[in-house]
Amino acid sequence: MAILKIARMGHPALRRRAEEVADPEAPEIRRLVHDMIETMADAQGLGLAAPQIHIPKRVVVFHAPDGDADRKTGDPEEWKPTVLINPTIEPLSDEMAYGWEGCLSVPGLRGEVPRHVSIRYRGLAPDGRTIDRAASGLHARVAQHECDHLDGILYPMRMTDLSRLVFESEFHRVVEEAEPETADV
Ligand code: NI
């Protein structure tokens, strides 16, 4: 197992369409998944896609912020990330919502991105079992962000207002500015 280098925006590895995995139970896929989980944990990320570590395969790992079927305990250290091989996403409604995202391949920045509020995602787990889940909110947002990486799409490419692309160090100013609009005072 290894902690791998994460490609940053501008590297061609992030812009390619990744290939389907022929055998999800192959030993090299098991190793890849372990390395991705280790790399994600080291970088303190919420999710990671294989192209981010220069592997052009359709594999993503992420922590489902709610309703993670693999989440069995209240201790975050023991939460298992969701692993999806050859995932597909289907929107469950036309409703979109804006939310703030960051990306390990776009360090130091955050942007406000429109995403489907409610989706269904399907894929294979490393043991060959099918994962088929409905997700909404942050869970749906993270899944869409990770699966976009498999098609060479980074979150700034989804943004509709680039004035909402900000440095993390300035983020508190944007949030403070937005708060009076959302708070009923
Ligand atoms: Ni990302």
**140 within 8 A of 116, measured Cβ to Cβ:** yes
pLDDT at res. 79: 65
**Residue 78 domain-assigned (yes or no):** yes
| Total domains, the chain | 1
Active site residues: 146
pLDDT at res. 94: 97
* Domain of 53, in residue numbers: 12-182
Closest Cα to residue 79, out of 64, 93, 90?
A: 64
In this structure, what token pair is assigned to residue 125? 């787990």
**Residue 2 domain-assigned (yes or no):** no
**Residue 112 domain-assigned (yes or no):** yes
pLDDT at res. 177: 64
Distance (Å, whole) CA 112 – CA 171: 11
Please give the distance, rounded to the nearest whole angstrom, from the Cα atom of residue 183 to the centre of ligand 1. Answer: 30
**Residue 52 domain-assigned (yes or no):** yes
Which residues surround the ion ligand 1 when the cut-off is CB under 5 Å? 103
**What one-letter code names the amino acid at 142?**
V
Half-sphere exposure of 144 (CA within 13 A, CB side): 26
Q: What is the CATH number of the domain that holds 86?
A: 3.90.45.10
**What one-letter code names the amino acid at 171?**
F
Q: How many residues does the chain have?
A: 185
> At CA 90, angle to CA 14 and CA 34, rounded to 5?
45
Distance (Å, whole) CA 62 – CA 82: 5
**What one-letter code names the amino acid at 78?**
E
**Residue 3 domain-assigned (yes or no):** no
Please give the distance, rounded to the nearest whole angstrom, from the Cα atom of residue 54 to the centre of ligand 1. Answer: 13
Distance (Å, whole) CA 88 – CA 107: 26
**177 within 8 A of 93, measured Cβ to Cβ:** no
pLDDT at res. 182: 44
Distance (Å, whole) CA 120 – CA 177: 34
**Residue 137 domain-assigned (yes or no):** yes
pLDDT at res. 175: 81
pLDDT at res. 29: 97
**39 within 8 A of 48, measured Cβ to Cβ:** yes
pLDDT at res. 183: 44
Residues of the chain whose pLDDT is less than 50?
Answer: 68-71, 180-183
Please give the distance, rounded to the nearest whole angstrom, from the Cα atom of residue 69 to the centre of ligand 1. Answer: 22
